[in-house]
Structure 1
């Protein structure tokens, strides 16, 4: 008898039938006992979901609970969590009992009194998803580490379902408030054991965009790669128990002008670029600064989402962030159950203005077993029509058991890294051409988790999708066992795929075979 191929074995062992919608093989969502084998940070994220936080100013002011327009806009934004900053959640139970929230309060005099007892007594504490203790503090200071130790040891048993962490500036090379060296971060991780590693790097309009040339936020990419590497090494530095990682996303501009200030809002394509690049690199908590306007020591910071204070009169930027939030949440159940294994780039042509190089390995045919070619074409006129970056993120399930008996399943995310300072996602579209040789694997296609519908769809020869009039993505058979994916992606946008081996798509209850 001819041995079954890996795909046929999976189909037979799960009792599946081709051409029908069936329950996934094994528990794609993960049973409680599987979660207990994970680190605390990943367990909480799987239970709570991908986190899309937004720093809100004044939402806890008395009377705001009756402002229906404010809350209707908040729901329409598709952010998951109110970040109340240093404020206390002071909403009535009718509101607070339904809203996930985050804070960055701290009490240096007595860290064990950083949250009042009334929050625990009221039940509002059950919705505290994440707690960033203070902001951009110097974790090289012994006094700061002692304060953090006292805080986290006191609150960790009281908050078993809350992510506990700090935040530092991501790029240590140029100094900057809260920036710190790798060795300092590693010492902090070993001693404090944070649930998540968090950083902020705001690339748009700072230093006159010197670190953001040709549509590439190189300083941001550097910081993201750095914190990804540190988090994947885990708190003990061995890599055996990685922790999740997050970042603050720039959605503001300052009122001041000149070098050293943020002189403009991120564009539509840059908003997408930040969010999808982060997902491609494996980030699982994204926090925008800010949702509405605020004041800071550097001057007033304005948010682009509303024409009126307190989240009133949404702008086109609001509609865009709401859409990319919804698309991110459609990918979320899978992404929180995956672990980043590699990140590659097809870089745009170098220019004389490149001052900071992204610390990302170039894609080649050794990156995975089946891709043999990856090329990109700028479909617009931005930067003289020169190609922009393409990011490729590779993933595996956090636990092999998450997709049943299948092993060594590989996921990948293809992201168009092209963006412009004043440009829409349509003006920054690129065409990716990806060729595959599946050899003896008996794989004949891909699966994509559709970011617009949240459904897994088969990508087989003959598949097409209209992106815009006259622009179609497609998947074609080139020759025996060889295929070509032509993928049109909006600026800053990415798609999540896996090779169609017959294994369950992690995080999805059902899959189309």
Structure 2
């Protein structure tokens, strides 16, 4: 889904052309809500409820949801903190009221990324005690994520992170806190038994604009965000932003499609096909594939080795192409019947290169007893049965930049695929 806030540039058909599965209406704009309701197109509504579920807030929400049909959930506040005006406790009280009133819908908030000052997580306290000052100074991002889930109790865990910047040296590769954030949020959500979603970057704001220096992602940049998140088990992906709110978003300031519109639409169509199965899977492990040039192992991660996630049927995985930043990930999953899956993802991306220009080949060698492997095709949604003709040669797959393929052993069908 994409964040939509500007009625003058919003056209539902154009929005649906990006292959979103739902609409995120940021603040109640009647024109946007009406167009979704009339088309019976599922939409979530963002509202601020920083004072909790006051009578005025309750009346406002009831009025909106009575007037506009097809609502499937609410996103309350944005990047709340432990303390302060926009805090976990009041956010949780609003979510609890929404859940009790509309139990058949999803109710959530959204928290921020790592890399900020600790006050962005702990929040502000008027006249803090020495103990509170010490607690604020020691407050980590991991604690922030865990406290949010424990106190606010969302139906779905969600956070945002934006990692692509202008400037020499920022063309390829991303900061470590991209992987750190995926790992920390995945781990906390799994521990709480929650599905988890992510806001990814689809906006540009160059240097000199309120301290930002953010670039519009290329095709390979964008796919890396999306398929990397899938590899960690995220089941919901939102764009910040769809409507023009910066120099460029999915739409340009005048409402025309930006250079990211078509690449995002293609990626979303592939994600939707994989999502038919992935929404039924639980992530069990994520490991790094270092490549030939050698890349620093992301924080909290380990390089893949035989036996990772208890899977000894894979004997080796190797990226066959040389070059800096040509590395990858393997994510392991299981379904409710105990069947195991894995996703192999190419992390190579570049600010000025499309997905084909950042493609790599990956060789996977299996135990000789594995004669066939199943792959859910991103382009068609069909299940492909791949025969391993030579056990020593294994299987060589071609992955466009930032892209992943989902596999399972030939022990039954893909969950969710008839």
- Shorter-chain TM range is 0.7 to 0.9
1:122 to 59, 67, 70: 67
How far apart are residue 83 of structure 1 and its match? 1.5
CA 224–121 in structure 1, closer or farther in 2 if over 3 Å, else same: same
Query: Equivalences for 1:432-511 in 2 at 5 Å?
Result: 432-439=362-369, 443-461=370-388, 476-478=389-391, 484-501=394-411, 503-509=412-418
Does structure 2 conserve the Cα–Cα contact (< 8 Å) formed by 1:104 and 1:132?
yes
Secondary structure of 2:357's partner?
coil
What does the per-residue CA deviation read over 1:430-476, in whole Å, with 9 as the maximum and x for residues that have no partner?
Answer: 0101100144xxx4211111011011111114xxxxxxxxxxxxxx3
Aligned length, in residue pairs: 394
Matching of residue 226 in structure 1 with residue 184 in structure 2 = yes
1:332 to 267, 275, 290: 275
Distance, in Å, in 2 between the alignment partners of 1:504 and 1:223 is 32
Distance, in Å, in 2 between the alignment partners of 1:119 and 1:460 is 54
CA 227–164 in structure 1, closer or farther in 2 if over 3 Å, else same: same
How far apart are residue 288 of structure 1 and its match? 0.6
Distance, in Å, in 2 between the alignment partners of 1:81 and 1:176 is 33
Query: Equivalences for 1:275-354 in 2 at 5 Å?
Result: 275-294=226-245, 301-307=246-252, 309-310=254-255, 312=256, 314-348=257-291, 349-350=293-294
Does structure 1 conserve the Cα–Cα contact (< 8 Å) formed by 2:320 and 2:361?
yes
CA 292–320 in structure 1, closer or farther in 2 if over 3 Å, else same: same
What is the TM-score normalised by the length of structure 2?
0.86
1:396 to 313, 320, 334: 334
How far apart are residue 186 of structure 1 and its match? 2.4
Matching of residue 365 in structure 1 with residue 306 in structure 2 = yes
RMSD (Å), alpha carbons: 2.7
What does the per-residue CA deviation read over 1:226-254, in whole Å, with 9 as the maximum and x for residues that have no partner?
Answer: 100110111xxxxxxx2111111001111
Aligned position for 1:193? 153
Distance, in Å, in 1 between the alignment partners of 2:244 and 2:364 is 43
Query: Equivalences for 1:30-45 in 2 at 5 Å?
Result: none
2:5 to 54, 57, 61: 57
Q: Provide structure 2 residue ranges, at least 5 long, that are not aligned to the other structure.
A: 123-139
What does the per-residue CA deviation read over 1:395-436, in whole Å, with 9 as the maximum and x for residues that have no partner?
Answer: 001x22xxxxxxx31100011010112111111110101100
Secondary structure of 1:257's partner?
strand
Distance, in Å, in 2 between the alignment partners of 1:449 and 1:274 is 20
CA 194–315 in structure 1, closer or farther in 2 if over 3 Å, else same: closer
Aligned position for 1:473? none
How far apart are residue 133 of structure 1 and its match? 1.1
Distance, in Å, in 2 between the alignment partners of 1:284 and 1:134 is 21
Aligned position for 1:410? 340
CA 203–93 in structure 1, closer or farther in 2 if over 3 Å, else same: closer
2:353 to 423, 432, 436: 423
Q: Which has the larger radius of gyration?
A: 1
How far apart are residue 315 of structure 1 and its match? 4.0
How far apart are residue 267 of structure 1 and its match? 1.5
CA 177–184 in structure 1, closer or farther in 2 if over 3 Å, else same: closer
Higher relative contact order (CA 8 A, sep 6+): 1
What does the per-residue CA deviation read over 1:200-234, in whole Å, with 9 as the maximum and x for residues that have no partner?
Answer: 1110117x587x68524422111011100110111
Distance, in Å, in 1 between the alignment partners of 2:250 and 2:65 is 33
